[in-house]
Amino acid sequence: MNLTIQNHLLFAGGKQVPYRATPNRSGIMNPDTIIDHDTASNPLDPSGDIGWLTMPVASASAHVVIDWRGGITQLAPFNVQCWHAGPSKYGNRYNFNAFAIGIEHDNPGYLRKIGEGIYSGVCVIDTNRNSEFRVARVATPEHGDHYWLAYSEKQIAASAALHAALKAAYPAINTVLGHFHICPGRKTDTNPLFPLSHMQAIVRGEAGELPPPIKTKPEPQAPVTAKPSFLPDATVIADSLNLRGGPGIQFAVKGAIPYGTRIDVQEKDQLTGWLRVVTPFGATGYVHGGFVRLD
Ligand SMILES: [Zn+2]
């Protein structure tokens, strides 16, 4: 998909993408961040969420909506503040609407299993009737333990192309976050199957030519490679801290580290807070940074 941005408007193959103006916008901004969202709507009914995001009563909007088939509709120029983030905080920054572009992806959000291959949430997702639908159960500390609809290949390809086009038009963009990062406890979008780390790599110029992964399963156990030496730089502050095989509670517990143990933190995932660590007993694995005090 050949996406370009001219005068803060989006073009695909030289032709402006459909534009539906939203009144839910405020002043001019210089974007340096992208926030990825889900619409929490029926993926096969793209008209619903665009209708809602362009109504004054919604008091909500985003710059673009990417539908299930990969079609993109723009609702406001990229240098105008839209109302997609709400009260928000990440690191030492607040009020993400003031500097972040909002991308909505048609996806229903969390689902409950109500039958074999049938799931319910804001709509019914029947994988028996629609072979395009792939649903996986995934638990993360930020999302909880639910069933989620995998994004479609076309949707992810369009989203990746858009992230790249935005970076080209606004070189200051260096951060990609999910709505759940900036509104913890209040938001769970994008869902855990969204390839956020790939989108982050795109804006950092690190993604290369690889197409974005279409995730239908939790990420496999991350490989652990130990540093040759043990250089403790943190202290466990939980009574008994689970050491896991990967960065998330969906990964198996490999052991427990007692309170006060000195550990070596080798890597920190700034997005999720998970740490890759080595224990004094030579074990390697992952712990959540909330239970560790760094020196
Ligand atoms: Zn959102």
Say how many Å lie between the CA of residue 260 and the centre of ligand 1: 38
Say how many Å lie between the CA of residue 279 and the centre of ligand 1: 38
Say how many Å lie between the CA of residue 267 and the centre of ligand 1: 28
Q: Which two tokens stand for residue 111?
A: 């689902």
Say how many Å lie between the CA of residue 290 and the centre of ligand 1: 24
Say how many Å lie between the CA of residue 257 and the centre of ligand 1: 36
Say how many Å lie between the CA of residue 84 and the centre of ligand 1: 6
Rounded CA separation 191/189 (Å) = 5
Say how many Å lie between the CA of residue 188 and the centre of ligand 1: 8
Say how many Å lie between the CA of residue 39 and the centre of ligand 1: 7
pLDDT digits (tens, 9 = 90+) for 222-254: 444 434 456 788 999 988 899 998 888 888 888
Say how many Å lie between the CA of residue 59 and the centre of ligand 1: 13
pLDDT band with cut points at 50, 70 and 90 for residue 218: low
Taking each helix axis from N to C terminus, what angle separates 153-169 and 196-203, rounded to the nearest 10 degrees? 30
Say how many Å lie between the CA of residue 110 and the centre of ligand 1: 13
pLDDT band with cut points at 50, 70 and 90 for residue 15: very high
Q: Tell me the β-bridge partners of 11.
A: 4, 16
Contact indicator for 200, 261 with CB cutoff of 8 Å = no
Say how many Å lie between the CA of residue 211 and the centre of ligand 1: 24
The full set of domain ranges for the chain reads: 3-203, 234-294
pLDDT at 54: 95
Say how many Å lie between the CA of residue 276 and the centre of ligand 1: 29
How high does pLDDT run on average in the chain? 90
Alpha helices in 183-236 (DSSP H): 196-203
Say how many Å lie between the CA of residue 132 and the centre of ligand 1: 24
Count CB-CB contacts under 10 A for residue 205: 10
Say how many Å lie between the CA of residue 63 and the centre of ligand 1: 12
Fold agreement between 3-203 and 234-294: no
Say how many Å lie between the CA of residue 225 and the centre of ligand 1: 35
Say how many Å lie between the CA of residue 71 and the centre of ligand 1: 19
pLDDT at 169: 97
Rounded CA separation 193/258 (Å) = 33
Say how many Å lie between the CA of residue 187 and the centre of ligand 1: 7
Select from 125, 203, 132 the least CA-distant residue to 164. Answer: 203
Count CB-CB contacts under 10 A for residue 250: 18
CATH placement of domain 3-203: 3.40.80.10
pLDDT at 195: 94
**CATH 2.30.30.40 is the classification of domain 234-294:** yes
Say how many Å lie between the CA of residue 37 and the centre of ligand 1: 4
Q: Tell me the β-bridge partners of 294.
A: 234
pLDDT digits (tens, 9 = 90+) for 62-112: 999 999 999 999 999 999 999 999 999 999 999 999 999 999 999 999 999
